[in-house]
Amino acid sequence: MKILHVADLHIDSPLAGLTAYEGAPVEEIRGATRRATENLVRRAIEEPVDLVVVAGDIFDGDWRDFHTGLFWVDQLGLLHDAGIPVVTVTGNHDAASEVSRRLRPPPNVTKLSDSTPETKIFDDLGVAVTGQGYATRSVTADLAASFPDADSKLFTIGVLHTSLDGRPGHERYAPTAVETLRAKGYDYWALGHVHKREEVHRDPWIVFSGNLQGRHAREVGPKGATLVEVQSREVNSLDALELDDVRWHDCELDVADSRDPDDVLSKVTECFASLVAADGERLCAVRVDLVGASPAHDALWRDPHGFEAEVRSIANRTGRVWVEKVKIDTARGLDLARSREDDAVGAIAARIADLRRDPELLHQFEPLFSDVHRKISADARSDDGAPVDTRRIGTVDHIRDCLDASLETIVALLAGEQG
């Protein structure tokens, strides 16, 4: 018997940081969560699997219109036509309170209750699936604690959207303990919510399948679903299927030995070529991060936008790489503190060092940020999806960081004039 465990499809959620520059494969990126869902359904039918279990966050939130729901019901219909049953629960993103529109799924689909643990039994398979979805977005109770004990005659699957005992970067929803899950006597726990795939425990298996499609630059590497093979009520094997349509890569390049931007660009070209060679037909979403104390530092900082455009142009030529962002995190070889006060660079560096040391002076800059405070929302995220600590904006610490960044730019510009 084959069971396909999937979670966190987030259908129609935008991939974060989508910049529509000339030549960017915008449509392909926009449709990535749908293409991954199609890959999932196609694979389920090809295997074929006997059951699909979905552990929440099918949707990213309320549907903008019925297109999202129609797409999902169409995909479920393909599974129906292939005779494959599906059991789903909701998660925090698609909790009952969050999704206002409804469409009737085909009869092969069982959506377990959002208010109490519910069990669906498949007599023909000898399988029981127990789970509970989310009535509201923020479920802080241990839902698993009130799941019934397993029926020892059936292969029992628990399905739950949960942060378990806590995972970095994931909100604490329906928290529970490995020990609580073990004590239920189930054979397999199909978990959702944590986007990084993890086999938490074996005997019994407790597994996060991870999300189906990476959504931002911190969700790198293969994404997909977990194929579980069961023989005489024992898990025989687990297989991490790669079903993502667009794959995220963090391309950190040490450019310490690059003499100038041309040198750096040849490194970028090599990096893109190896990604394309490794990833088959898949589109690569790439964050380029240049690091190292490099002789090319000043030239890179002098015209970061021009450099970024060169990188994007190289990406366009591969036809399969989309550049999310180019970060220039290089350092200058020379030590600013040792440059002389009487040259321009040294004078500016000394002035900024004075400012950094004097909180009274730094406070004067606070009004510059009051507009930003008014306009930014409290739950703002940076373009890589990380939460922005809005309370930090305009603080002395933040102003110091701004000064450091402006020093880099000024020195790079001056070095250009002198050179």
In the complex, minimum distance from the CB of residue 381 to Mn ion, in angstroms, rounded to a whole number? 15
Name which of 59 and 307 has its Cβ closer to Mn ion: 59
In the complex, minimum distance from the CB of residue 45 to Mn ion, in angstroms, rounded to a whole number? 27
> Which residue is it, tokens 């926009």?
30
Collapsed DSSP state (helix, strand, coil) of residue 320? coil
In 294-406, which ranges are E strands? 321-331
Both tokens assigned to 291: 């690091």
Give the footprint of Mn ion on residues 161-190 (CB under 5 A): none
Name which of 89 and 243 has its Cβ closer to Mn ion: 89
In the complex, minimum distance from the CB of residue 101 to Mn ion, in angstroms, rounded to a whole number? 20
CB 220, CB 250: distance < 8 Å: yes
Name which of 193 and 215 has its Cβ closer to Mn ion: 193
Starting at the earlier edge strand, list the strands of the sheet with 51-55: 109-111, 86-89, 51-55, 2-6, 224-231, 234-242
Q: Does 92 bind Mn ion (CB under 5 A)?
A: yes
Name which of 173 and 301 has its Cβ closer to Mn ion: 173
**Cα distance between residue 276 and residue 278, in whole Å:** 5
CB 296, CB 259: distance < 8 Å: yes
Name which of 92 and 209 has its Cβ closer to Mn ion: 92
In the complex, minimum distance from the CB of residue 304 to Mn ion, in angstroms, rounded to a whole number? 35
In the complex, minimum distance from the CB of residue 9 to Mn ion, in angstroms, rounded to a whole number? 11
CB 305, CB 323: distance < 8 Å: no
CA distances in angstroms from 213 to 110, 245, 323, 362, listed in the order given: 24, 7, 17, 44
Name which of 138 and 409 has its Cβ closer to Mn ion: 138
In the complex, minimum distance from the CB of residue 194 to Mn ion, in angstroms, rounded to a whole number? 8
Q: Give the interface segment with Mn ion, choosing from 87-95, 256-264, 280-288, 304-312 (CB under 5 A).
A: 87-95
Q: Does 68 bind Mn ion (CB under 5 A)?
A: no
Torsion 174-179-180-183 (CA) sign: positive
Give the footprint of Mn ion on residues 187-216 (CB under 5 A): 193
Q: Does 219 bind Mn ion (CB under 5 A)?
A: no
> 247 forms bridges with which residues in the sheet?
284
Q: Give the interface segment with Mn ion, choosing from 32-40, 62-70, 85-93, 380-388 (CB under 5 A).
A: 85-93
Residues within the interface to Mn ion (CB under 5 A): 57, 91-92, 193
